[in-house]
Amino acid sequence: MHERHTTARSGPSRANASRPDHAGSGPWRTDPSTLRLLQFTDLHLYAEPDRLLFDQCTRRTFAQVLARAQTQHWPPDAILFTGDLVHDERVEGYRYLRQIVDAIECPCFCLPGNHDRADLLAAEVEPGADRDWRVEPLGPWDLLLLDSTIAGSDGGRLRPETLEQLERYLAAAKQRPALISVHHQPVPVGSRWIDTMQIENGADLMALAERHPQLRVILYGHVHQAFDRQLGSTRLLATPSTCAQFKPASDDFALDSLRPGYRWLELAPDGHLRTGIERLTTETLGAPVRPQRVENPLSGR
Ligand SMILES: [Fe+2]
């Protein structure tokens, strides 16, 4: 099933509203025609408020990352939560996230990851989050949100019908710049172990991007590390987790000592963009993050 033009649970879009409160509030540009997005990904929240993943309390690091965004890049026009929002498939983590989303005064769009229960995400946080794909128009841009999850698997795949519908949509809306957001990576990130869990038909998505140059960005999570590559007209961007980071270019599972973070994006009406990663500082992260070799609880269902 797919549906278009759904509305996020949170407040009205400010994409076209005047924004006098932006002036001087961090590194955002002040051009009111530019859309400002934030991406938070791979929160891995638990039902238990104090539960740790790799020695870090995931609710705590997410709260710290959000607080960092609220001092550095605020307010955004919309926020994308790109999957693995809850680690243990229990409802309490979604209800916790719902409380946070309700307090954020901008649209929040959610995608499921391989650890999520899409039905709980849609029921508790954002109606529409369980759809195969959807379009969220935001000012002059279209946000195209895709579900890449496979039931019972940590890998990713896009349904052929989704790709066909995307193809038709982009052909009809070719004047509008578009951003695709999805959980899994469509191209290898360069780590053998996690690239076994990429979108298995990612080449089909990249072929579609080549045919539709207005597709300016493909934005994702899953890899728990920053990634930035331009392929043709399309910029491929992955983003650090709000909790644990994976070591880049590692054949086997390994953690990195880099801090949790988020991505900010500025989307211009002509399709150009600026983007960057913001991480917690040593001062804001209370407990040390240690690189370590441990059994990977993020895969192996
Ligand atoms: Fe994850």
Domains of the chain (ranges plus CATH)?
34-279 (3.60.21.10)
DSSP β-bridge partners for residue 111: 82
| d(C-alpha 132, C-alpha 277), whole Å | 28
| Rounded mean pLDDT for each run of 10 residues along the chain, 301 residues in total | 41 40 55 93 95 93 96 96 96 97 95 97 96 96 98 96 97 94 98 97 98 97 98 98 96 95 97 96 60 50 42
> Could you tell me the distance, in angstroms and rounded to a whole number, from the CA of residue 127 to the centre of ligand 1?
22
112 CA to centre of ligand 1 in angstroms: 10
pLDDT at 292: 43
Least Cα distance to 130 among 150, 152, 147, 155 occurs for 147
pLDDT value for 199: 98
Helix (H) or strand (E) holding 122: helix 118-124
DSSP state letter for 72: H
pLDDT of residue 15: 41
Confidence at residue 32, expressed as pLDDT on a 0 to 100 scale: 84
- DSSP characters for 2-35? ---S---SSS---TTS--GGGTTSSS----TTSE
Q: How far is the CA of 188 from the centre of ligand 1 (A)?
A: 16
